[in-house]
Amino acid sequence: MTHVYALVNQKGGVGKTTTAVNLAAFLAAAGHRVLLVDCDPQANATSSLGVDADEVEYSLYDALINRVPLDRVIILSSLLRLDLVASAPKLAGADVEMVSMLTRERLLQRALEPVLHRYDHVIMDCPPSLSLLTVNALTCARSGVIIPIQCEYLPLEGLGRLTHTVSLVREHLNPDLRIFGIVMTMFDTRTNLAHDVVADVRQHFPNEVFESIIPRNVRLSEAPSYGQPVSVYAPGSPGALAYQALANEVLAREARSNGTAR
């Protein structure tokens, strides 16, 4: 079965795209076939893999709005086993155009279905808003939601609203939707606040928070400017080691879920 995840947080700057790109890269490095879908009009996941969003022939916009088959949209990345559905600037208008379309919440699901059998994992990087693009991703995230949370107070404050949205989508569009995991990001060991936020989130979500914590790390910040995931740019850095541990933890959780299902 293909594992399909939506990486969601309505607050920007929490490490969502960094997590999507590097989780996808490390899953591919572990031998899994991975499709990274950039659902964010800012196209940061696209550029993080060295692809110019202004130069792509087809993007996610074309798959959603113009019904271009995903076969023609998918781009082979420079990494073995990692493919990309790129974003583009015109995706910013997709929300408005989708409003009048039939089954507008399932456009992404329709686009993905013909290619799912090729991949072990699909990672969808969502925009920092609870938009129709995000709802589309949540609707087809059959394996769950991964929520990156910066280890500060304000990102923590919005977690309640996000979990409420997940509940609404589960009730109306995707009955299997669940929070697969919560990733604590930008952890600064020097501050008491970071430790307090981690403890608070673990208290409220004891089964969802990953053990792997992503530290503040300059290599993670530098890697996108070189169009590379940190696994390529600085494989021995603390950030790379943290994301490698996260990928291993995701795979371990999947294995446990499969065992439970059997």
Q: Three-class SS of residue 53?
A: coil
pLDDT for the residue 106? 96
Whole-model pTM: value is 0.95
Surface-to-core class of residue 11, CB atoms within 10 Å of its CB (0-12 exposed, 13-18 middle, 19+ buried): buried
Can you tell me the distance from the alpha carbon of 42 to that of 12, in angstroms, rounded to the nearest whole number?
A: 11
* pLDDT digits (tens), the chain, 262 positions: 899 999 999 888 899 999 999 999 999 999 999 999 999 999 999 999 999 999 999 999 999 999 999 999 999 999 999 999 999 999 999 989 998 898 899 999 999 999 999 999 999 999 998 899 999 999 999 999 999 999 887 767 778 888 888 999 999 999 999 999 999 999 998 889 899 999 999 998 999 999 999 999 999 999 999 999 999 999 999 999 999 999 999 999 999 987 655 4
Asked if 39 and 137 touch (Cβ cutoff 8 Å), the reply is: yes
Tell which residue, 13, 9, 84, 25, has the closest CA to residue 223: 25
In the prediction, which pLDDT does 153 show? 78
Residue 262: predicted pLDDT: 44
Choose among 187, 14, 208: nearest CA to 198: 187
> How far is it, in rounded angstroms, from Cα 249 to Cα 81?
20
Go through the domains of the chain in sequence order and give each one's CATH number.
Answer: 3-261 (3.40.50.300)
pLDDT at position 260 is: 56
68 bridge partner residues? none
